[in-house]
Structure 1
Amino acid sequence: MLFKTVNELTILNLPYPRMESKLNSEESHNTTIMEFALVGFSDIPNLQWILFGIFFVIYLIILLGNSIIILITRIDSTLQNPMYFFLGNFSFLEICYVTTTVPRMLRDIWTQKGNISFLACAAQTCFVFIFGGAECLLLTAMAYDRYVAICNPLNYPLVMNHKVCIQLVAGSWISGIPVEIGQMWQIFSLSFCGSNRINNFFCDIPQILKLTCGETLVNQMVVYIFTVLFLMVPFLLIVASYGKIISNILKLSSAKGRAKAFSTCSSHLTVVVLFYGTAAINYLQPKSNKSERLGKLLSLFYTVLTPVMNPVIYTLRNKDVFMALKKLLPNY
């Protein structure tokens, strides 16, 4: 006679192996998962050390590049305005955001193990979405700043005063915290059974929901609602802001003025397209059309590649930041 659950074996005082994780769904329908296994890039074993080197260098570039932006926006007198106040905060946010995923990914590649405890997985997911939501809102605040600067320049110092800037940044950081904590509590309170394999390099909600027992339609709808709230609504506000901005730029009589205005906005718009585009495809794509390999690639874009491109975009495409960087590095 075959007993399938630990409880049945315990009642009959039969020995059973200690297991923290149940990998075989056929043998663990009624058991509780205590840890998850992040698949990461283990499906390409021949490239493990190459990938480790690439991601390690990328992480260092993110830390160094964004730290330099934070430094120059703090010490350079020409960058003491709302636009660069937001940029410095955005760079700090990027460092926090990428640190929730890349160090764990590097550790998994190095050890060739992807085990992550239940609580660590929940914490990582929560921080990824808190920082991701803050990034969406901060990008919206930056778009509003550009809108006021270009469409209402005479009132810009009054509208975007230091108090307002602090309120916008604080709101961006804080607004999503209670929402995301509540969402994580709801998801990780579900019953998990069967396979514990997450086909990604970090704990992401779409893959986690696949491991739950029973119907998850309500939870999936909640994910969609919060995605629309923190991703699509800010994106539409940014699009509306830039619609007004472009309309005003085209009305400028000076070609030099138009070029300068476009140059000021193009860096921010590039980051917006990269971040929102990949994140929206990953979270709003119908479940039936989702490819796990594509989802992993898209996750890589908005969690790793966008943060590494942020300092490059803002230093190469922004003349003021580039000049401040040259002053910081006199032998450059």
Structure 2
Amino acid sequence: MEPGNGTQFSEFLLLGLSQTLELQPLIFGLFLSMYLVTVSGNLLIILVVSSDSHLHTPMYFFLSNLSLVDICFTSTTVPKMLVNIQTQSRVITYAGCITQMYFYILFAVLDSFILTVMAYDRFVAICHPLHYMVIMNPRLCGLLVLLSWIMSVLNSLLESLMVLGLRFCSDLEIPHFFCELNQVLQLACSDTLLNNIIMYFSAGLLAGGPLAGILYSYSKILSSIRRISSSQGKYKAFSTCASHLSVVSLFYGTVLGVYLSSAATQNVHSSATASVMYTVVTPMLNPFIYSLRNNDIKRALQRFFGRLMNCPGMQVSSLRVRSLTQIN
């Protein structure tokens, strides 16, 4: 790839969240902690859902897929930022930047699709409860997830290939902690009109479309809940949607907040800081939302940790601790 002055380049510079040296250890510790909590929390959700037969339902099948996507989503940006802070380097190779951009777009769009599929699952469960298991059969569930992956991969591939066709100038500093598509396009010397058209069209179609589907599903859900006569029945029906609705509000609220505020202020550094909300904080909070607001997950976690404590290895360890305590 050749930049505008005809010389070769092989790397970009990620300016990160702050260039103040005194803040780097604090940022490193904070993001390492959040990343470990995100991975361990979402991995625990996947293990609990896969190991507990009570959770082998469409709702929790989609939840485990959401947890997997959240792990991958966070892993596209945070590890590279931690490495750059630790090595005191801002460099990311050209190939590394394109790769990071590809997977970031892939998992961001996939996150949106999985949330939409989960909203459809709740719509069928509440509005058509008698036909729920017939409609949400394993084949349809697998097909919905597969289609979400295919559409996300194709969109991400198109966006990345369009960037490969650009020429870049000598100023290759990205005022962000990862290779965000819009920031990379602003560094190009060649015409980016087609790139911007595709980017905004994809955002409107693949983010606005799922959001419209979620809003439509919940409008039907609320309409069905209002027709329930007993207050206990209304509460029980709504409680099955509470966790998902919280996650949707958190994800779309932070995404829309970041991009609307950045469009209004045109401050790239504040935009980079705000992006932390949906790239790191939201995937970290999702397991807590589902574990704290969902009784099925709570009981499954109790059974999961109960099995761990009753396994032979754990019993031997506990006996050794007791014997050492008695000796001392």
Please say whether Structure 1 and Structure 2 have the same fold, judged by a TM-score greater than 0.5.
yes
State the match for 2:164 in structure 1. 188
Q: Aligned equivalents of 2:188 and 2:245: distance in 1?
A: 38
Identity of aligned residues (%): 42
Give the equivalent residue in structure 1 for 2:86.
Answer: 110
Q: Give 1:278 shift.
A: 2.5
Which amino acid letter does the alignment assign opposite residue 188 of structure 1? L
Amino acid in structure 2 at the alignment position of 1:299:
S
Deviations 1:215-239 (A, max 9, x none): 3232212110010111111001101
> In the TM superposition, what is the alpha-carbon distance from 1:75 to its structure 2 partner?
1.4
> Displacement of 1:294 after TM fit?
2.6
Per the alignment, residue 4 of structure 1 pairs with none
Which structure 1 segments of 5+ residues have no match?
1-20, 23-27
Q: Residue 73 of structure 1 corresponds to which residue in structure 2?
A: 49
Measured against aligned partners, the alpha-carbon deviations of 1:301-328 in whole angstroms (never above 9, x if no partner) come to 1111111001000000111101111222
Structure 1 position 283, deviation (Å): 4.8
Is the CA contact (8 Å cut-off) linking 1:134 and 1:174 kept in structure 2? no
TM-score, normalization by structure 1: 0.87
Q: Report the Cα distance in structure 2 between the residues aligned to 1:101 and 1:317, rounded to whole angstroms.
A: 29
| Superposed displacement of residue 187, structure 1 | 1.5
- Among 54, 66, 69, which residue is 1:93 paired with? 69
Asked if 1:296 corresponds to 2:296, the answer is no
Match of 1:252 among 223, 228, 247: 228
Q: TM-score, normalised on structure 2?
A: 0.88
Q: Cα deviations across residues 57-81 of structure 1 (Å, max 9, x unaligned)?
A: 1111111111111011111122111
Q: Tell me the CA shift for residue 164 of structure 1.
A: 0.4
Report the aligned-residue RMSD.
2.0
- 2:8 & 2:263 partners in 1: Cα distance? 25
- Is the CA contact 2:166–2:190 (under 8 Å) kept in the aligned structure 1? no
Which protein is richer in helix relative to its size? 2
Q: How does 1:136-285 map to 2 (within 5 A)?
A: 136-283=112-259
Matched, 1:50 2:26: yes
Number of aligned residue pairs: give it.
307
CA distance in 2, matches of 1:53, 1:282: 24
Conservation of the 8 A alpha-carbon contact between 2:17 and 2:273: no
C-alpha distance in structure 2 between counterparts of 1:254 and 1:323, whole Å: 26
C-alpha separation between the residues in 2 aligned to 1:129 and 1:76?
32
Tell me the distance in 2 between the aligned counterparts of 1:225 and 1:52: 36
The CA deviation at 1:179 is 2.2
Aligned to 1:5: none
Aligned partner of residue 12 in structure 2, secondary structure: strand
**Aligned partners of 1:227 and 1:283 also within 8 Å:** no
1: CA distance, partners of 2:139 / 2:191: 47
* 1:41 and 1:48 in contact (8 A); partners too: no
Q: What is the deviation of 1:112?
A: 1.4
Query: Are residue 327 (structure 1) and residue 298 (structure 2) matched?
Result: no
Gaps of 5+ in 2: 310-328
